[in-house]
Amino acid sequence: MTEGPIEQTFVPGAFVRHPDRPDWGIGQVQSVIGHRITVNFENAGKHLINGAVVRLVLVDKAVG
């Protein structure tokens, strides 16, 4: 039995971090269309992330 890649589903309003850009801070998902995830990061503004390439990390905003 072979497992495929783990797919994460992001919804608008979810909080995330970019694993390769911790300096961007926490971001809030604005929209999701296919693998394209628009995120507004607290220290870097709005970025379009290719979810097929970058595995964003879900964050509990209360914990940070």
Q: What is the pTM of this model?
A: 0.83
The predicted-structure confidence for 5-38, as pLDDT tens digits, reads as follows 445 689 999 999 999 999 999 999 999 999 999 9
Where in the chain does DSSP place strands (E)?
Answer: 15-17, 27-33, 36-41, 45-50, 57-59
21 lies in some domain: yes
Q: Which amino acid is at 36?
A: R
51 lies in some domain: yes
5 lies in some domain: no
9 lies in some domain: no
23 lies in some domain: yes
The predicted-structure confidence for 34-62, as pLDDT tens digits, reads as follows 999 999 999 999 999 999 999 999 998 76
Total of domains in the chain: 1
49 lies in some domain: yes
Residue 45's domain spans which residues?
14-58
Instruction: Please report the pLDDT score of residue 15 as a whole number.
Output: 97
22 lies in some domain: yes
4 lies in some domain: no
Please give the backbone phi and psi of residue 24, each rounded to the nearest 5 degrees, phi first. -75, -20
Structure tokens that stand for 45 in this block: 């503004």
Instruction: Please report the pLDDT score of residue 8 as a whole number.
Output: 67
